[in-house]
Amino acid sequence: MAADEQQIPTAVVEWEKLAASERFRALVRAKRRFIVPAMIFFIVYYFALPILVGYARPFMETRVFGAVNLAYLFALSQFFMAWIIAALYVRAANRFDKMARDVISEDKIDPAAAGQDRQA
Amino acid sequence: MNAALTMFLFFVAVTLVITYWAARRSQSAAAFFTASRRITGWQNGVAVAGDYMSAASFLGIAGLIAFFGYDGFMFSVGWLVAYLTVLLVVAEPLRNAGKYTMADVLAYRLNPRPVRAMASLSTLTVSTFYMIAQMVGAGALVTLLLGSSHISYQTAVIGVGILMIIYVVFGGMLATTWVQIIKAILLMAGTILLSFMVLAHFDWKIDNFFNAVTHVTYHDKGAVVTKNFLEPGLRYTAANHGALDLISLGMALVFGTAGLPHILVRFYTVPDAKTARVSVVWAMALIGSFYIMTTFLGFGAATIVGRDHIASHGGNNMSAPLLAQALGGDIFFAFIAAIAFATILAVVAGLTISASTSFAHDFYTNVIHKGVERSPGEEVRVARITAFVVGAIAMFVAILLGKDANVAFLVALAFAVAASANLPVIVFSLFWKRFNTSGAVLGLATGLAASILLIMISPSIMKVDPPGTAAAARHLIQRPAIFPLENPGILSIPLGFLGAIIGTFLRREPRAEARFAELIVRANTGLGAEKPVDE
């Protein structure tokens, strides 16, 4: 297939060595430090909605602004929660991209050939 | 209602021109399956939104809010939050380590044939069920919207089926992408317009709008009732385990969206993982804005049109079109109706291409022929034939079921399978070194079987209907349900994970563990990832 011809010869890459390198392990640690807490936070925040709505209805029916109650505001806040986490992730991911480039360059592999700098 | 038909035919004409243009650029495998991996970030983001926001979103959620108020809005929330799993866990590793399908990532370090066979089965199950639900919806919609133009249910189903086959067979991923982009833009435009018209109706005062929502009056079992539609519990009551059902639905959405094959294949159409990330962000902006606006669509229909009028004019799925008619007259009704068709077409095209990619690439080439194309272009040829066959089957089943068939559970089923079968194995193969072939096969099988079995004994299939229910709308098994929830996620997702864990511990697979290093380096750095190809 056409795509295969453009592959860098991955047979020459020492995957084990790369995976064990300090730079790669730092990248994985950095990603985990962001992604795991972010996942836990959004899962807790999201499931709080059906749980509170299901089991604490009188509380959720408290009116906050005029007719608008807590249940609706909490549901609405979920959208902003998702957008904020996405924005924070994009910021962190730009750092991860740079770390990933360093991992590859450490092995003297041209990063452009690995498709990292393709996006202008 | 010929205005609706005219607008729809205009949309069809534009998409056919695009298909003609795309056909000449869709000859090679990479071009056909991934649009040569040259779709840009914003384009793919809009296409993901177009792929995802189905008629169930546009018509279904607006209808649920119009009829059940706040409980309907709960659906809107889950449909967006689910994208955080896609963004944080799945999109980038998949783009870095895969080629055409989700099974590519699994096959890296596991024994490819059994894993691809199971993954393909799961993909085809999700896609076909989802497609049948969309087709029945399309047919029913046409008879409601174009009642006076002599277009029957059958004609509508066949029309939608033929169009989606043309898009995919001739235009491949490139045509599918542009159909989805145009549809998403139309859908957003229609929704924004409708939302502003609702606000204008309330003199641009949001207070007036929400005050009206707090006392919605309608007939319920012969009596006139007035309810505060901002209060939860109108649909999911304590008596029918409402809270558990909502939690279960939330689980299926949050863990299932990242396992939907037709969403996952979209991340192979962009040049690299960073662009995949950008496209998820675009998709989240659009999808989130859309679902926030379902507030105006749904509550607007409840307050301006009224539940009684909607119930006597086609039922809750007609809420958004009827709102358009009340606010903008017949021409605006026609515009919204045409958007609803476009919505269905774009989604079924996405489902068709993901099903045929999985069959051709995973099952035909890699399982039957052990990864070797016997002649150049064979994989694409098989995919084109599969698209035709899958489309024909979906048309046939949709016609067989008829327009009154109760098919909403098929969408719930698709999400449940995606969450219970696909997501556990994707996550474990990326993050768990010990994970192996028997874990993947048992995980996929358990998730698939648990979802299907639990749905079959749930109130979606098992329910005693009141006497006088139309034959086609009757539940298949006229007995009280064994499993009380409409959504099986709360049980089937843990079962899927458990199956994958137990399967893993049944055997040791040194090769799978040894190749973990390669997979995580590829997934995290993009080293050796598939490149865009020249047209």
CB contact under 8 A, B525 and A27: yes
Q: Which residue of A has its CA nearest to B272?
A: A115
pLDDT digits over A26-49, tens only?
999 999 999 999 999 999 999 999
Contacts of B216 (CB under 8 A, 6+ apart): B69, B226, B227, B228, B229, B302, B303, B306, B307
Measure the CA–CA gap between B273 and B270, rounded to whole angstroms: 8
Q: What is the pLDDT of residue B316?
A: 81
In the stretch 272-301 of chain B, residues with CB closer than 8 A to chain A read 272, 274-275, 277-278, 280-281, 284-285, 288, 291-292
Eight-state DSSP code of residue A109? -
Among B525, B530, B533, most A C-beta atoms within 10 A, so best to mutate, is B525
CA atoms within 13 A on the CB side of B343: 27
- CA A91 to chain CA centroid, nearest Å: 10
C-alpha distances (whole Å) from B428 to each of A27, B62, B123, B340 are 19, 37, 18, 38
CB contact under 8 A, B284 and A53: no
Among A18, A34, A39, A102, most B C-beta atoms within 10 A, so best to mutate, is A18
Q: What is the pLDDT of residue A2?
A: 39
Query: Which amino acid is located at A104 in the chain?
Result: I
Q: What is the pLDDT of residue B407?
A: 72
Q: Closest CB to A83: pick one of B41, B243, B288.
A: B288
pLDDT digits over B376-404, tens only?
788 999 999 999 999 999 999 989 888 77
Q: What is the pLDDT of residue B149?
A: 59
CB contact under 8 A, B528 and A66: no
pLDDT digits over B216-235, tens only?
888 887 888 888 999 888 88
The SS3 call for residue A68 is strand
CB contact under 8 A, B231 and A39: no
Q: What is the CA radius of gyration of chain A?
A: 22
Token pair belonging to B97: 């380590």
Q: What is the pLDDT of residue A107?
A: 54
Contact B490, A54 (CB under 8 A): no
- CA B450 to chain CA centroid, nearest Å: 20
pLDDT digits over A44-103, tens only?
999 999 999 988 888 999 999 888 999 999 999 999 999 999 999 999 999 999 999 988
- Determine the angle formed by the axes of helices B273-300 and B153-201, rounding to 10 degrees: 80
Q: Which residues of B touch A66 (CB under 8 A)?
A: 207, 210-211
Q: Which residues of B touch A49 (CB under 8 A)?
A: 74, 77, 250
pTM of the model: 0.91
Neighbours of A84 (CB within 10 A): 12
Q: Looking at the complex, report in whole angstroms how far the Cα of residue B19 sits from the nearest Cα belonging to chain A.
A: 22
Q: Which residues of B touch A60 (CB under 8 A)?
A: 232
CB contact under 8 A, A119 and B275: yes
Eight-state DSSP code of residue B269? S
Contact B437, B511 (CB under 8 A): no
Contacts of B466 (CB under 8 A, 6+ apart): none
Kindly indicate whether the ipTM for this predicted assembly is greater than 0.95, answering yes or no: no
Neighbours of A45 (CB within 10 A): 16
Q: Which residues of B touch A22 (CB under 8 A)?
A: none
Measure the CA–CA gap between B487 and B415, rounded to whole angstroms: 9
CB contact under 8 A, A118 and B520: no
Token pair belonging to A58: 């009188």
Measure the CA–CA gap between B130 and B348, rounded to whole angstroms: 8
Q: What is the pLDDT of residue B219?
A: 87
Q: What is the pLDDT of residue A117?
A: 38
pLDDT < 50 regions, chain B: none
Contact B212, B202 (CB under 8 A): yes
Where residue B37 falls (left for φ over 0; alpha for ψ -120 to 50; beta otherwise) is: left
Contact A2, A87 (CB under 8 A): no
Q: What is the pLDDT of residue B384?
A: 94
The three-state DSSP-derived secondary structure of B167-230 is HHHHHHHHHHHHHHHHHHHHHHHHHHHHHHHHHHHCCCCHHHHHHHHHCEEEEECCEEEEECCC
Backbone angles phi, psi at A107, to 5 degrees: -90, 15
Q: What is the pLDDT of residue B372?
A: 80
Q: Closest CB to A82: pick one of B41, B275, B284.
A: B284
Helix, strand, coil % (nearest 5) of chain A?
75, 5, 20
Q: Which residue of A has its CA nearest to B92?
A: A93
Backbone angles phi, psi at B146, to 5 degrees: -115, 35
- Nearest CA to A119 out of B421, B416, B532 is that of B532
Q: Closest CB to B533: pick one of A2, A38, A89.
A: A2
**Cβ of residue B486 closer than 8 Å to a chain A Cβ:** no
